[in-house]
């Protein structure tokens, strides 16, 4: 579409980038959920919290797409046609990108409004009174958080304590009276969220939602990150305080109140009573927590996941290749290249320099492509390709300058040539009568340096 051309957006690679990244993240999410459930039965009760933190980069970084792009352009992988467009594929991708842009824009606008409402609520916050700040600093010191790293404020516009800020982190208290014990519970809870970088993690999930709103697994990730950040915070807070009864007494006391702040932009002390009950039930189940080998498990899972993602993405790449082959038939036109006459020669003509050129072959070796710069009176040939009797090898070349005369064809292991000759836009099928090693070659018959773009396909 014209506006995409104006913005220099190539719809096919852009769509593949979004879909490949979202699909691989979704596959990992399902796999890790299953593994997390199994590990929890072995006592690793908080393992899924670590899994979700590791999962976020897989939804954001298009590693596999970039790898496939490099393999296709530099190594000729997937027959060299991965991400190549056909009119049906291009139209489908343009429609997808229009719908995606609308959805991403609406999602971004929603979170922009939520953030604006949050900023309005917090813009009148003030520094906490001295005795609260002193208690806050003592708790920070006990938790190993450097002094001044996290700030404490009060606000009369919120009703539940919360942690805010992705990088510059703060704890906000409602403007009301608290006992020293209540404040200690609140500070430990909110500082645990800050130490876990939960708000930053949630903002990364928001970015994923904006970019991949079309994927239902992303919205499930939203809810799971919210829930598991609270589960992990409860566990580590109780461990630190060593007084579970006091911890839950303070939190339950506030269960009827709600902050009205955007859950994914801040970290509230609690959301509602139903969620509080769920959190308490989960703590009851955590009679023991196996912490051995957690780092090793996570590292092993990342390694396994990389292989799993590559396998899934390979299937997507093969699917795209099959789609390309199906849809390219729909745009076949009458051949523009006239029938070429085939010639033979026992060897390269005297005075012609022979050079070896790089040939990018696909994994099966049934096709390849090349771009060669060829000096005048020079023949450039590919590496050897094994062909069996009865097969046909299709060779096509394009030449720049287009009026330059070339010879293009195949050379057998004895140096005998079979070729067609002409200017730009040549192609020909060479039938193989005898099995053996052959090379694709192009000879420059003009008196200028030329650039040749060519390919071969074995039938």
> Residue range 313-329: average pLDDT?
72
Percent of the chain whose predicted confidence (pLDDT) is above 70:
79
Candidates 4, 36, 24; CA nearest to 212 is 24
d(CA 98, CA 113): 23
Greatest CA span in the chain, whole angstroms? 100
Highest mean pLDDT range out of 315-319, 320-324, 404-408?
Answer: 404-408
Rounded alpha-carbon distances, angstroms, from residue 378 to 217, 297, 413: 57, 58, 19
Question: What pLDDT digit, counting tens, does each position of 262-295 carry?
Answer: 444 445 555 555 666 667 666 656 555 555 666 6
d(CA 31, CA 305): 9
The pTM of the full predicted model, rounded to 2 decimals, is 0.64
d(CA 360, CA 337): 25
Cα dihedral 443, 446, 451, 457 sign: negative
Map out the domains of the chain as residue ranges. Answer: 1-122+205-256+269-332, 343-458
CATH number of 343-458: 2.60.120.380
Bridge partners for 378 per DSSP: 353, 444
> Is the bond preceding residue 301 a cis peptide, omega within 30 degrees?
no
Burial label, 404 (beta-carbon count in 10 A; 0-12, 13-18, 19+): buried
Alpha helices by DSSP H, 212-293: 216-241, 244-253, 273-285
Question: What pLDDT digit, counting tens, does each position of 355-383 carry?
Answer: 998 887 765 567 888 889 999 889 999 98
Q: What is the pLDDT of residue 417?
A: 93
Alpha helices by DSSP H, 41-86: 47-60, 63-75
Cβ-count burial 412-429 (b if 16+ within 10 Å, e if not): eeeeebbbbbbebebbbe
Please, are residues 277 and 248 in contact by the beta-carbon 8 Å criterion? no
């Amino acid at each position: 579409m014209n506006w995409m051309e104006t913005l220099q957006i190539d719809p096919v690679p852009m769509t593949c980038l979004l879909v490949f990244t979202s699909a691989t993240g979704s596959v990992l999410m399902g796999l890790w959920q299953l593994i997390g459930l199994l590990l929890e039965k072995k006592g690793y009760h908080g393992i899924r919290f670590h899994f979700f933190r590791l999962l976020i980069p897989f939804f954001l970084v298009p590693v596999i797409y970039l790898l496939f792009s490099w393999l296709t352009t530099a190594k000729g992988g997937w027959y060299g046609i991965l991400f190549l467009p056909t009119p049906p594929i291009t139209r489908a991708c343009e429609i997808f990108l229009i719908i995606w842009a609308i959805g991403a824009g609406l999602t971004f606008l929603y979170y922009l409004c939520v953030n604006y409402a949050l900023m309005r609520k917090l813009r009148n916050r003030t520094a906490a009174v001295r005795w609260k700040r002193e208690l806050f600093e003592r708790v920070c010191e006990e938790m190993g958080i450097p002094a001044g790293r996290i700030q404490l404020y009060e606000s009369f516009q919120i009703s539940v304590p919360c942690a805010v800020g992705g990088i510059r982190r703060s704890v906000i208290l409602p403007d009301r009276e608290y006992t020293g014990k209540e404040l200690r519970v609140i500070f430990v809870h909110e500082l645990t969220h800050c130490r876990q970088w939960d708000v930053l993690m949630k903002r990364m999930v928001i970015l994923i939602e904006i970019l991949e709103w079309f994927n239902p697994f992303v919205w499930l990730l939203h809810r799971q990150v919210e829930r598991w950040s609270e589960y992990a915070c409860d566990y580590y807070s109780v461990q630190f305080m060593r007084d579970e009864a006091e911890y839950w007494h303070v939190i339950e006391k506030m269960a009827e109140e709600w902050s009205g702040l955007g859950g994914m932009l801040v970290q509230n002390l609690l959301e509602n009573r139903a969620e509080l009950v769920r959190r308490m039930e989960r703590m009851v189940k955590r009679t023991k927590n196996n912490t051995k080998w957690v780092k090793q498990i996570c590292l092993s899972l990342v390694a396994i996941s990389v292989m799993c993602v590559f396998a899934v993405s390979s299937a997507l790449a093969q699917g795209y290749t099959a789609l390309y082959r199906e849809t390219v038939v729909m745009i076949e036109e009458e051949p523009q290249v006239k029938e070429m006459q085939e010639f033979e020669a026992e060897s390269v003509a005297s005075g012609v320099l022979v050079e070896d050129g790089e040939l990018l072959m696909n994994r099966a070796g049934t096709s390849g492509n090349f771009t060669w710069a060829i000096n005048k009176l020079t023949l450039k040939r590919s590496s050897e390709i094994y062909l069996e009797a009865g097969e046909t090898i299709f060779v096509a070349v394009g030449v720049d300058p287009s009026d330059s005369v070339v010879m293009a064809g195949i050379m057998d292991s004895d140096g005998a040539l079979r070729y067609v000759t002409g200017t730009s836009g040549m192609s020909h099928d060479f039938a193989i009568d005898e099995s053996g090693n052959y090379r694709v070659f192009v000879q420059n018959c003009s008196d200028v340096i030329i650039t040749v773009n060519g390919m071969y396909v074995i039938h």
